[in-house]
Structure 1
Amino acid sequence: MAGIQLAEVFGTIFYTFLGFGLLVICWLVIERITPFSLRREIEEDHNIAIAVMMAALFLSLSIIIAAVILS
């Protein structure tokens, strides 16, 4: 860990968990406001369209969360 300060490591770990927590909260909110179970649609019914939509949504949320954390 030459040249890396301990505060930077802790900051990275903290912001990683913060971003992951925000993504989990977003998943729970989306799951709650949709009239059907997203988990059932993706896992049991193999609805590829919803899976692709959720993947795109999480990628865009990840970019937004990273931009907010880094600014």
Structure 2
Amino acid sequence: MLHFWETHWGQLVSALIYSLIGISMFALAFTVLRKMMPFNVYKELEEDQNIALGILMASVMIGISIIISSAIR
């Protein structure tokens, strides 16, 4: 079992670092996108049940995730 940790320790650390970088970049992009909207995103989604905005935000989040994963890779 010790041999496993000796050979894979660097890969695990790299995966953790890249995961943290990706998640922080995603959170930053989502925050910037939310600030750019001329309305309150949370109010539109939660109170007004705006399904179109939910679909738009989901597609933007998927697109940002694809871009971040390509940049990290």
TM-score when normalising by structure 1: 0.88
Question: Percent identity at matched positions?
Answer: 29
For 2:71, the aligned partner's letter is V
Structure 1 residue 60: deviation in Å?
0.8
Pairing 1:42–2:35 present: no
RMSD of aligned Cα (Å): 1.6
Distance in 2 (alpha carbons) for counterparts of 1:27 and 1:62: 10
Query: Which digits, 9 at most, give the CA deviation of each residue in 1:2-60, with x for residues without a partner?
Result: 48511111111111111111111111111111110111111111111111111111111
Pairing 1:51–2:33 present: no
- Structure 1: tracts of 5 or more residues without a match: none
Q: Deviation above 2 Å: which 4+ runs of structure 1? A: 1-4
TM-score when normalising by structure 2: 0.86
Distance in 2 (alpha carbons) for counterparts of 1:20 and 1:58: 12
For 1:5, the aligned partner's letter is H
Which structure: greater helix fraction?
2
The higher radius of gyration belongs to 2
